[in-house]
Structure 1
Amino acid sequence: MVTRIGGLASGMDIDTLVSDLMKAERIPLDKLTQKKQTLEWQRDDYRSMNTLLKELDDMLFLNKDSIGREATFLKKSVSSTDDSKVTAQAINAQANFSTQINVKRLATSESWKTTGNVVKDFNKVTSDLNLTFKVTEPGASTPRMITDPNNPTQKIEEVITISLKKDDTIDDVISKINSSSLGISAMKENVLVNNNGTPDDYSDDIYEETIVFTNRNTGAGSKIEMTNSATNDFMASLGFSSTPDGTEFVLSSENSGQDAIVEVNGFEMKKTSNSFTINGVEYTAKAVTTSAVTVSSTTDVDSILDTIVKFVDKYNEVIEKINGKLTEERYRDYQPLTEEQKKAMDEKTIELWEEKAKSGLLKNDSVLSSSLSKMRVDLYSPVTNSEIVNGFSMLSEIGITTTSYSERGKLTIDEDVLREKIQENPTAIYKLFNAGGGTDDSTEITGLAKRLRTTIDNTIESIEEKAGNTSQTNQQFVLGKNLISVDKQIDRFQDRLMQIEDRYWRQFTAMEKAIQQSNQQSMYLMQQFGMQ
């Protein structure tokens, strides 16, 4: 550590002198710090472009209503002549339809009920107990099956265990049954067993508290089996009855579930549920009909149009922002501000300065420029795939064209034409965007959306090679390696500055010591002359 003497002998402000000298010495360090900041801004700009491209890719294929999903173009508007009896929704119906439905019987659920005033008589569970059951679903011939945990290639009957604890109340028991996988809704209710009262006095009416189980699934044939006598005894203590079946006991039902009986276009069929799917259409029977209900569909033009418009809007946004970065003015006189420079400015001035300093960092970037060119070719070139011979081969055929040259490749939509083409052949529009490329995957026979996705993926990959992503370290991409190099230069220069500052202090300290020694000699001589 250099001993520092701060100008006591010379009367000079050594601290200020050294500080001013070091300002000049720090100029190269400031330039390195500015270079580092510029690289970080450039890295962030690249990554923001990748974020934009990823959002466009998601809109192509990953979002729920994207143009890369066939279901988007199969959407139907479904109507019923009597919504109170039958409703429907198109799930994946390929073509429009008109169906005549008669509902002859609704599906109902199996139910089980206790007898006697059970809830009143039941106190608490007297000891820990595991109840074990098997469940046969409506329409099934055997209990539910699960994979054998000891042999993954085998299936075994599922045994459902409900663990009761000593002192559990009836409410605890009902809660555990409801939260189990039995598939049963359990409740307790007051049942009128003797109507002795009068309209003015109900005090003589007699009610019993009863437990009712209702299968959450409708349909005939459901069954609950108790796998051992301990379970059967407990259920009997609640008031349920059962019939033995070998070593097991079948819970006796109060009301048997029944299947729905429906007539579809003259053909009668049974369904375990009141909601059933035929040819990609889900029908829901709500009430028995006295005459046929007509359920029909039309193409949901508005929904499909909205999806395509959103895609075009997002594409135009991406094109505009990337073009903005490519043509942004570069202000080389506006370098990133140092901390010292920021201290001398107000916040607004700093903001305006940095806005110019950040400008143009991706100007004329080759990766982005080539990507935009490729995206334009992807969308404007015809699709010559056999899948769409009878459909559309270019965007212009469905009312989507390019804008003026000044807008650099944006798309515009003639909604009247697009609406007409959607009504005419939505499947052909889907193929235009998503036709497969075959084994050679050549661009000419690949759908527009698939082409675009390939270009986006390649662009994102190229940008990540240059600017990385948030999960990568600096060693894994070009700008990161440049940042590492600049950091090393900064570290070395900071070490050098410390040496230079120490040197200045040694020089000024030596000067102070020399002046101090000279002053002491002068004082000594004056004292000697004064003595004579």
Structure 2
Amino acid sequence: MVTRINGFSGMDIDSMVKSMMATKRVPLDKLNQDKQVLQWTREGYRELNSVLYDFRTNKLNDKYKKSDSLNVNKAVTTGNTTAVKAEATANATKVDMKVSVTKLATTTTLQTIGLGQGIPSSTSLAQLDGVDLSELSEEEEAAYLKKGFDITINGVSFKDSAGNSLFNGLTSISSLVAAINSNTKANAVASYDEITGKLSIASKIGGAEGTVKVETPAGSNSLLALFSKKTVVETNGAGIGVTSDKTLADLQKMLDGKEPDPAAPVKYYSFNINGKSFSFKASTTIADVVTAINTKPDVNVTASFVDGKLTITGNSAGEVKMSGASYEFLGLFKGAVPFAEGADAIKEVTKGENAEVTINGEAIKNVTSNVFTINGVQLTLLDVTNSSGTDIPTNVKTQSDPDKALETIKGFMEDYNALIKALNSKVNETKYRDFKPLSDEQKKEMKEGEIDSWTEKAKSGLFKNNDIVTSLLSKMREAITEKLGSLNAIGITTGNYMENGKLVISDETKLKNALSANPQLAIDLFQGTANAPQSGIFNKIANNITSTLDMISDRAGTNKFSMDLNSTFKEESIIGKQLKSYNSRITTMQKNLQMVENRYYKQFSAMESAMNKLTTQSSSLMSSLGLS
């Protein structure tokens, strides 16, 4: 810490040091200005990222590239309008159709018997199995989860890379359904109905050709059984020769293969059956356990112990729901026998059927789905047309309506022109080289309006002739230019040279007539052909913007998947690394300047002390000579 002395000599030392440091601070001010310009540039890239993302995603992809955006055909239905829905595609052949439906298509579906209401899709498979994982020891939980619930659908086994089942006690019903639906090879769609508690697995292929073959490997836990009410819980058995006078402690000793620890606390086996609680000491005999279950009111089950096996059966085929720590208790009897498919009719399969449809008196063959396309019209079958006993067909006519396609093209041109105008204004913006970012000291001497005006000029021209923006403009212009002959043929051209590639409709009547006469031409031109969708103007421009967003992200660290102007920057981008370098250099320079400033003050302090000493000596000498 430097002691700053001021005033002995009558000199303004602070002002003198400040003046001396001003020259030395010039390089630091230059660094801060360069850093500020780089920060402004990075923010400008983020604004550019937002504009380009919005145009590509919200306009091109979500609006103009949609298959129906350039479709000039329109299907009109009369007659039985509730039985059939019709949507004309661009390939509609304009054939009038009279549609009769006598049977809707169905899919082959496997459905469990169901558990009834009250079981949400967030329920875990362990809960459906009557196992409370929180009641198990770590070893018991690990053993239970390792077993899992194996299932094979249409020959596809749901296992991980290690060969373990994808589904175990921790899996929720919703996760189970999502896993089945995301497996494209299984060719099935699963759903769960919280109203009935039924799990359904349907073929993705509709009609009679669809199949749903669900298998559970022998000896494993049946997944489907979890969605059906258990009427019997049968154990594997404690062993031949085990009699009912054995205690639960005896069974535990047989399992462990050793004597229990005499110092251990008294062991209890607690669980629930149909909501009723049971708790038995380890010293309880099997016979007493059976008696307690059979005599407890409102349990509605019958327990029996025969040939070493404990069996709990629902009265009058009623349900047996065991929960709590039942897994530990049943483990004394070597666990419950897996609920075998078919043994208790846990599922039913409905075979899919083809739809029966007649169009213009001709029966249509192999209609496996209620949605199909014929004569370029997509028909959606909603109901039979003879529900009243008399067939009332649906009449379908195709009309040409170019207005929607015309609005799509106009909308694209408006958005495209606005984009290239904004980009051109960036690369052609005037750069004021004499206007540098203001320092805090400079701002103190200026009015707010002057600061704003100065800063506006300092920010101007940051993207003057920017390589990324000019490259994008060139590629977009190229995508238009190579299609210019086809565009001219339908009444679209570019503006004059000064308009930098602006698209204009030279003849709207010509464009409208072209859309009516050959709608596929516009689709191929803008959206690409069926065999080469990337050849369309929309896709080419979208791809150019995607590559540009990648370059902006690499350079400025912007989020290329968002148009959020407040999104954070990635530090490992080119500009991010440059800013780190600036911060490091500025910190080092500030430390060095502080050292220089302290040295100046030390020097002035020494000078002040010397002058003070000289003054004292002079006064003393004058006094001794009698001159004072």
Whether TM-score is above 0.5 comes out as yes
Q: Distance in 2 between matches of 1:214 and 1:5?
A: 84
Aligned: 1:430 with 2:534: no
Q: Which residue of 2 aligns with 1:342?
A: 443
Whether the aligned pair in 1 keeps the contact of 2:4 and 2:602 (CA below 8 Å) is no
Q: Quick one: structure 1 residues 284 and 323, their matched pair in 2 at CA, closer, same or farther if it must change by over 3 Å?
A: same
> What CA deviation, in whole Å up to 9, does each residue of 1:384-434 have, x standing for no partner?
xxxxxxxxx521122221123332221113443333222222222222235
Aligned: 1:497 with 2:599: no
Equivalent position amino acid for 2:607 in 1: M
Q: Quick one: structure 1 residues 375 and 260, their matched pair in 2 at CA, closer, same or farther if it must change by over 3 Å?
A: closer
Whether the aligned pair in 2 keeps the contact of 1:79 and 1:87 (CA below 8 Å) is no
Shift of 1:353: 2.1
The 5 Å alignment of 1:74-113 reads: 74=71, 76-82=73-79, 84-90=81-87, 94-96=91-93, 98-104=96-102
SS at match of 1:94: coil
The 5 Å alignment of 1:344-493 reads: 344-382=445-483, 393-413=485-505, 414-433=507-526, 435=528, 446-453=535-542, 455-456=544-545, 459-460=548-549, 467=556, 469=558, 476-477=573-574, 479-480=575-576, 482-493=578-589
Whether the aligned pair in 1 keeps the contact of 2:80 and 2:385 (CA below 8 Å) is no
Whether the aligned pair in 1 keeps the contact of 2:83 and 2:385 (CA below 8 Å) is no
The 5 Å alignment of 1:129-148 reads: 130=129, 145=154, 147-148=156-157
Q: Which residue of 1 aligns with 2:434?
A: 333
Q: Quick one: structure 1 residues 151 and 54, their matched pair in 2 at CA, closer, same or farther if it must change by over 3 Å?
A: closer
Cα RMSD for the two superposed structures: 5.1
Whether the aligned pair in 1 keeps the contact of 2:8 and 2:608 (CA below 8 Å) is yes
Aligned: 1:296 with 2:397: yes
Q: Quick one: structure 1 residues 405 and 268, their matched pair in 2 at CA, closer, same or farther if it must change by over 3 Å?
A: closer
Which residue among 259, 281, 285 is the counterpart of 2:378? 281
Q: Quick one: structure 1 residues 522 and 299, their matched pair in 2 at CA, closer, same or farther if it must change by over 3 Å?
A: farther
> What CA deviation, in whole Å up to 9, does each residue of 1:428-454 have, x standing for no partner?
222223557999x9xxx9544454455
Q: Distance in 1 between matches of 2:317 and 2:512?
A: 66
Q: Which residue of 1 aligns with 2:343?
A: 247
Count of aligned positions? 441
Q: Quick one: structure 1 residues 145 and 437, their matched pair in 2 at CA, closer, same or farther if it must change by over 3 Å?
A: closer
Shift of 1:81: 0.3
Q: Which residue of 1 aligns with 2:359?
A: 264
Equivalent position amino acid for 1:264 in 2: I
Shift of 1:53: 3.7
Whether the aligned pair in 2 keeps the contact of 1:84 and 1:287 (CA below 8 Å) is no
SS at match of 1:333: coil
Whether the aligned pair in 2 keeps the contact of 1:106 and 1:286 (CA below 8 Å) is yes
Identity of aligned residues (%): 30
SS at match of 1:249: coil
Whether the aligned pair in 1 keeps the contact of 2:100 and 2:358 (CA below 8 Å) is yes
Whether the aligned pair in 1 keeps the contact of 2:476 and 2:541 (CA below 8 Å) is yes
Whether the aligned pair in 1 keeps the contact of 2:191 and 2:201 (CA below 8 Å) is no
Shift of 1:33: 0.9
Which residue among 296, 309, 318 is the counterpart of 2:410? 309
Shift of 1:259: 8.3
TM-score (norm 2): 0.56
> What CA deviation, in whole Å up to 9, does each residue of 1:32-58 have, x standing for no partner?
211221122233334543443444443
Whether the aligned pair in 2 keeps the contact of 1:185 and 1:214 (CA below 8 Å) is no
Q: Which residue of 1 aligns with 2:614?
A: 518
Q: Distance in 2 between matches of 1:54 and 1:411?
A: 21
Q: Quick one: structure 1 residues 462 and 434, their matched pair in 2 at CA, closer, same or farther if it must change by over 3 Å?
A: same
Q: Quick one: structure 1 residues 378 and 149, their matched pair in 2 at CA, closer, same or farther if it must change by over 3 Å?
A: closer
Whether the aligned pair in 1 keeps the contact of 2:79 and 2:394 (CA below 8 Å) is yes
Whether the aligned pair in 2 keeps the contact of 1:186 and 1:214 (CA below 8 Å) is no
Aligned: 1:149 with 2:128: no
The 5 Å alignment of 1:87-236 reads: 87-90=84-87, 94-96=91-93, 98-104=96-102, 130=129, 145=154, 147-150=156-159, 183-184=192-193, 186=195, 229-230=231-232
Whether the aligned pair in 2 keeps the contact of 1:228 and 1:247 (CA below 8 Å) is no
Bigger CA drift: 415-424 or 257-266?
257-266
Shift of 1:309: 2.5
SS at match of 2:345: strand
TM-score (norm 1): 0.65
SS at match of 2:371: strand
Shift of 1:162: 13
Q: Which residue of 2 aligns with 1:10?
A: 9
Q: Distance in 2 between matches of 1:57 and 1:101?
A: 41
Q: Distance in 2 between matches of 1:112 and 1:484?
A: 62
> What CA deviation, in whole Å up to 9, does each residue of 1:180-225 have, x standing for no partner?
x6755747xxxxxxxxxxxxxxxxxxxxxxxx99999999999x99
Shift of 1:19: 2.9
Whether the aligned pair in 2 keeps the contact of 1:437 and 1:446 (CA below 8 Å) is no
Whether the aligned pair in 2 keeps the contact of 1:160 and 1:182 (CA below 8 Å) is no
Q: Quick one: structure 1 residues 462 and 74, their matched pair in 2 at CA, closer, same or farther if it must change by over 3 Å?
A: same
Q: Distance in 2 between matches of 1:367 and 1:100?
A: 57
Q: Distance in 2 between matches of 1:484 and 1:530?
A: 69
Q: Which residue of 2 aligns with 1:64?
A: 62
Q: Distance in 2 between matches of 1:437 and 1:250?
A: 47
Equivalent position amino acid for 1:10 in 2: S
